[in-house]
Amino acid sequence: IQYSDDRLQTGPSIEHTDLFAEITAGRVGSMFNVMSVERIRSYQDIAMQSRLKIPLLFGLDVVHGMRTTFPIPLAEAASFDFQMIEQTARIAAAETSAYGIHWTFAPMVDISRDARWGRVMEGSGEDPWLGSQIARARINGFQGENYSNAKSIMACAKHFAAYGAAVAGKDYAEADISETTLHQIYLPPFKAAVEANVATMMNGFNEINGIPANAHKELQRDILKGAWDFKGFMVSDWGSIGGMAKDSKEATKLAVIAGCDMDMHSMSYKRNLVNLADEGQVDVSLIDDAVRRILTKKFELGLFDDPYRYCYREKELNDSSIIKKHRSDARLMGAKSVVLLKNEQVLPIQPNIKKIALVGPLNKSRVDMLGNWNAAGEEND
């Protein structure tokens, strides 16, 4: 079970009965949207009072930089510079881990071919080959060779699957596509992510031909964990399990059987999973498999050796020499991401025009220049 910190909400909030009591009882496995080492330590302190002392896993949407803001992923994709894309992810991992965070909900590897879909900014565009190369580059940047380096973090390929095929570009809408389109266009970047040893994956909010992504057993159990031999774990998107069936209990049953290992902030697993197991509607072996996958990642991160191992580098966040180098790379990535159009047929600009006015409220809006999902970026920078 994963909960969001109440101080930073990136989706609809839910009522906690008593979050600290749940953590102390060992009923919470992960937190996200916790933005300071001090607060992460305080949550981990509570987890260390639980019976089994299983450390919490902390995640955050670090999509195009943590403290240093890089171009949005779509812009980085326009560079076609896979080495530089890997470098920006490596810098983001170093900064994210300095905040005490173990896990980013990136890269988004959804193929998007409808410009009306607002989340195109998070991905790499419309081409499966390019999307696959960038998925590998960003995962390698975030995770490195292994987690023995405390500056590496776990990556999460999202949203599994065909989320970018939303009907009419409406976010959360269903994907109505053929099997050929699914396998040739939308799945290749996810397979590339598995081949790059991505630690986790996230389900989409969408349905695929009438089946909710969280309940899609063929995709999760048969293809991802079966044919592709994915060793990591699957997390739902924000609250997405709760609303996909006639009621929360039925949704929980479908999600667990299909292969969704962690419930992000819907409380569905908390309310229903024990009863479903007691009633024999969910085989305990499926829960064991989910637990094993999540605990394995906590072991690989070294959290059982030291639950606080990501909480010792806070001073790096204000180290001027480190910040200067990271901003230099951000400027270089920005230059590589620029797209130029020839003034031939596309642009209606006469050759004698020497100046162009930039007009509108966003022209001087520093906060908008950070782009969506700007993590700890600051507009004054």
Catalytic residues: 237
Q: How far is CA 103 from the centre of its chain?
A: 8
- Angle between helical axes of 82-98 and 128-143 (0-180°, round to 10): 40
Euclidean distance between CA atoms 17 and 28, whole angstroms: 13
* DSSP label of 341: -
Euclidean distance between CA atoms 364 and 256, whole angstroms: 48
Euclidean distance between CA atoms 169 and 119, whole angstroms: 9
Question: Within 13 Å, how many C-alpha atoms sit on residue 136's CB side?
Answer: 13
Residues 9 and 35: beta-carbon distance below 8 Å: no
Q: Return phi, psi of residue 119, to 5°.
A: -90, 10
Residues 215 and 175: beta-carbon distance below 8 Å: no
Alpha-carbon distances, residue 141 vs 136, 212, 257, 311 (angstroms): 8, 31, 33, 20
Write the CB contacts of 78 (distance below 8 Å, at least 6 apart in sequence): 337, 338, 339
β-pair type (207-208, 211-212): antiparallel
Euclidean distance between CA atoms 154 and 300, whole angstroms: 10
Euclidean distance between CA atoms 234 and 46, whole angstroms: 25
Nearest to 376 by CA among 97, 159, 84, 4: 97
